[in-house]
Amino acid sequence: MKGEQTLQKLYRIRRSRDYDRTWREGQRYHTTHFVVIVNSGREHSRLGITISRKVGNAVCRNQLKRWIRELFRTHRKQFSQLLDISIIAKRQAGQLSHLQLDRELLIIFARLETDDYV
């Protein structure tokens, strides 16, 4: 079934005001290739992705977005709180393999489970 493999719209940050609120009020986590900004969510845990053209060509950027959405989709139920998560790729992120991306973001996801965002 197609719906099982996609991240539904209700799990995505789609409005600019929601991004602004997350960036303004959220807590930042820095890794080598990403900045992850986390804020308390409303109804569902949601994901927003920002990848600039400096990261790579369209194929590279879209591949990174697919990998990040898939990681979030498979791990969002483990969060103990409702969170808005905005992931910003740094310039070097285009050189990551799928496994490297997963390892780097799973470290942050593990920290999110223990931190409090109320």
pTM above 0.85, yes or no: yes
What are the tens digits of pLDDT across the range 16-38? 998 899 999 999 999 999 999 99
The matching CATH number, chosen from 3.30.230.10, 3.90.550.10, 3.30.200.20, 3.40.50.12280, for 7-113 is: 3.30.230.10
H/E run at residue 70: helix 58-75
Tokens of 103: 């390892």
Q: Which of 87, 21, 13, 19 is nearest to 49 (CA)?
A: 87
Residues with Cβ within 8 Å of residue 22, at least 6 apart in sequence: 13, 37, 38, 39, 48, 84, 85, 86
Cross-strand bridge partners of residue 46: 84
What are the tens digits of pLDDT across the range 87-99? 999 999 999 999 9
Percent with pLDDT over 90 in the chain = 58
Domain definitions of the chain by residue range:
7-113
